[in-house]
Structure 1
Amino acid sequence: MKVTTPRLTQHVLTVEGRTAGEPVLFVHGNVSSAAFWRDAMAALPDGYRLLAVDLRGFGETDPAPVDATRGLRDYSDDVIELVEALGLDRVHLVGWSLGGGIVLQVLRDHPEAVRSVTLVNPISPYGFGGTEGPDGRLTHPDGTGSGAGAANPDFVTRLQAGDLSDESPTSPRSVFRSAYVDHRPIPDEDFYVRAMLTTRVGDAHYPGDAATSAAWPGVAPGKTGVLNACAPTHFRLGDLHEIGPRPPILWIRGADDVIVSDTSLFDLAHLGALGLVPGSPGTPAQPMVSQTRAVLARYGAYREVVLDECGHSPHLEHPEQFQRLLAEHLREA
């Protein structure tokens, strides 16, 4: 269905016949869409109203530009407007990867609207790239090492071209196989790859406008687009513990995630340490998981579950275990 709010028209995926009960709103990750939640939604028990939103610039939602200087608030404000437009009362939020950061921003700004939060391999509360240590301190004041300039240009080109092949390690299908899932065959792979290809490409969306830096590795956050919105100069949630009320958080993550990790293969600092990006001065990798754990430890009301033999997408790789954990969390909340 389509829902028009003052900001934009959003496409929302629903489950037929599930129009009553406590609302559960699913928020997808980067380079994907609400379609990634299709099976997880349908498998939840009765008693919930199930919705998954396409974020701006993804799926069938309006491609409104992203002001990265607001961090993830363009996305989180869209989500809270959707909640208000649908008249949802205290919603359960489920966020994967980028969506994890977005639902935490909703929680930070509107805790009274949230019944529970489930984080699925979320980005760090200190963004993606350009920070060190569990406290998320900036490696350089300008956020060097993060932002749109860190994107692989061949992947961006293939994404824009709608490449469905597996001829290159940087094709969307190859990235899905090697990074979204832990080299695990996934039913309906073509369905998910096509959902990746709904991503709008450009300065206003993915990856965003690139900026340069005098410091290694020579890239810094720009002002528009999704990767810049994730930059630690724009997005920081180290004060999450200061909100009230504090609804319960379930954090589910795959042990073998190569995207969100303390040694992420998508982090330029770690790639420099591996010798894959030349000229590294020894900048340490961003400890993404450790940063999330530190922020949630201060928050207090959380539980962490690590799934073995699982990459970035527990809801696709271990659907039965994921659905059981989510259903238990919703029921307890």
Structure 2
Amino acid sequence: MSKINHLSGISSQFVEIGRLRMHLLRAGNKHNTPMLFLHGNTCTSTIWEEFMLQFSDEFYCIAPDLRGFGDTEKQIIDATRGIEDWLDDITALIKKLDLPPFHLVGHSLGGFICWGLIARHATDIETVTLISPGPPMGFGGIHGEQGKANNPDYSGSGGGIVVDAFADRLKAGDRSTDHPLYSPRNMMNRLFWKEGFHADREEDILTAMLQIHTGEKYYPGDYKQSKYWPGVAPGRYGPVNALSPKYNQALLNDFLNTEPKPPLLWVHGVDDHIISDTSFSDPGYQGKMSLREGWPGEAKYPPQPMTLQIEFSLAEYQSKGGKVFREHIKDCGHTPFIEKPTLTKQALSDHLQKNSSQ
């Protein structure tokens, strides 16, 4: 496999946290206020490198490879605990590094984990920035602003919704463009950002994508057969199962009732095709668009309204005393800090300036 060429100013480190050997990228002076960056699914810490460097003069920037990804030790994710394995890992990392109060930045899956980190580490967090986060209700098989299950077994969430052809190509380290839908490179360029955009570090980001830990108990994870459409229900292992609403039913309530409530910025690309009310990753929307056979219709299996669910969650957070700021960026997809770095940096910088106690 190709090696990632880290940018000048980025250093790589392995840390034993007691639970596993974790890989980190770092930038900046360790005596400055920490800023902790959490990456998204099918990616690693390397996606943050350019953005970290924009803050490294003032902050100590830290980006781990989450369990299941990158150069962090290959260990099973017990999906029946929802995001708890990730939370336990990050808690152990915070303790190992003896971090003072920090700023938290999460993207996609990393943003989803942030909902739980806020609940667990509210007193340690200065500010939170969620960039294209998964909604706190979880991903797949739910409807309505509060995320009610379409079916009792949460069919349409978990490892079974990942297309085998894509998972097989990840496992094989495929760097080609020979399949329009399932080549990892094509998938990245179609969904990570607005189609037509090309990242300067495409090769390194693709390498990071191919570093995901694969296998039945890893990515994409196992699954159960379901009598409900689309025929699969969550299994027990791996990151996609850990995102299932079945295993994260307390997450929204924990987030909303945390005290104190750190000030929160939500950054959203208007043209995001992953976290969206019309997400091409959602079985309900895939069915509506005739991309999955046998869809039972909107009444029985509607698309998941992800942005509506995030809006509901943030409005509830505000109603309970939390401060929430929103930055919706036009002509931008799922990864604003790469597609629109100047606008995203300005939004985050303003957020830090207004809300930091430092």
What corresponds to 2:26 in structure 1? 14
CA contact (8 A) 1:181 1:310 kept: yes
What corresponds to 1:83 in structure 2? 94
Q: Distance in 1 between matches of 2:308 and 2:74?
A: 34
CA contact (8 A) 2:68 2:238 kept: no
Q: Distance in 1 between matches of 2:217 and 2:116?
A: 20
What corresponds to 1:227 in structure 2? 240
CA contact (8 A) 1:20 1:47 kept: no
CA contact (8 A) 1:68 1:226 kept: yes
2:132 aligned with 1:121: yes
Deviations 1:50-99 (A, max 9, x none): 11010012111111100001101111211111111101112211110000
How far did 1:243 drift?
0.9
2:282 aligned with 1:267: yes
Q: Distance in 2 between matches of 1:205 and 1:99?
A: 17
2:284 aligned with 1:279: no
2:217 aligned with 1:204: yes
Within the candidate set 289, 297, 322, 2:344 is matched to: 322
CA contact (8 A) 2:29 2:56 kept: no
What corresponds to 2:332 in structure 1? 310
How far did 1:212 drift?
1.2
Deviations 1:215-251 (A, max 9, x none): 1110110011111000000023221221100001110
CA contact (8 A) 2:131 2:268 kept: yes
What corresponds to 1:185 in structure 2? 198
| Percent identity (aligned) | 39
2:283 aligned with 1:299: no
Counterpart secondary structure, 1:94 = strand
Counterpart secondary structure, 2:315 = helix
2:195 aligned with 1:195: no
2:275 aligned with 1:253: no
Where do 1:95-174 residues align within 5 Å? 95-168=106-179, 169-174=181-186
What corresponds to 1:62 in structure 2? 73
CA contact (8 A) 2:68 2:239 kept: no
Q: Distance in 2 between matches of 1:192 and 1:47?
A: 26
Q: Distance in 1 between matches of 2:148 and 2:121?
A: 26
Q: Distance in 2 between matches of 1:234 and 1:276?
A: 27
Within the candidate set 236, 252, 255, 1:238 is matched to: 252
Q: Distance in 1 between matches of 2:70 and 2:60?
A: 21
| Aligned-residue RMSD, C-alpha | 1.1
Query: After alignment, is 233-242 or 253-262 more displaced?
Result: 233-242
CA contact (8 A) 2:284 2:304 kept: yes
What corresponds to 2:307 in structure 1? 289
Question: In structure 2, what residue type is equivalent to 1:327?
Answer: S
Structure 2 residues without counterparts, runs of 5 or longer: 1-12
CA contact (8 A) 1:254 1:313 kept: yes
CA contact (8 A) 2:171 2:210 kept: yes
Within the candidate set 19, 26, 32, 2:37 is matched to: 26
| TM-score, length basis structure 1 | 0.97
CA contact (8 A) 1:77 1:106 kept: no
CA contact (8 A) 1:181 1:312 kept: yes
How far did 1:290 drift?
0.7
Q: Distance in 1 between matches of 2:56 and 2:18?
A: 33
How far did 1:44 drift?
1.5
Between the two proteins, the alignment pairs up a number of residues equal to: 332
How far did 1:325 drift?
1.3
Counterpart secondary structure, 1:178 = helix
How far did 1:37 drift?
0.2
2:93 aligned with 1:93: no
Q: Distance in 2 between matches of 1:320 and 1:35?
A: 19
Structure 1 residues without counterparts, runs of 5 or longer: none
CA contact (8 A) 1:129 1:232 kept: yes
Question: In structure 2, what residue type is equivalent to 1:173?
Answer: R
Q: Distance in 2 between matches of 1:101 and 1:203?
A: 23
How far did 1:45 drift?
5.6
Question: In structure 2, what residue type is equivalent to 1:305?
Answer: E
| TM-score, length basis structure 2 | 0.91
Question: In structure 2, what residue type is equivalent to 1:274?
Answer: M
CA contact (8 A) 1:259 1:312 kept: yes
What corresponds to 1:175 in structure 2? 187
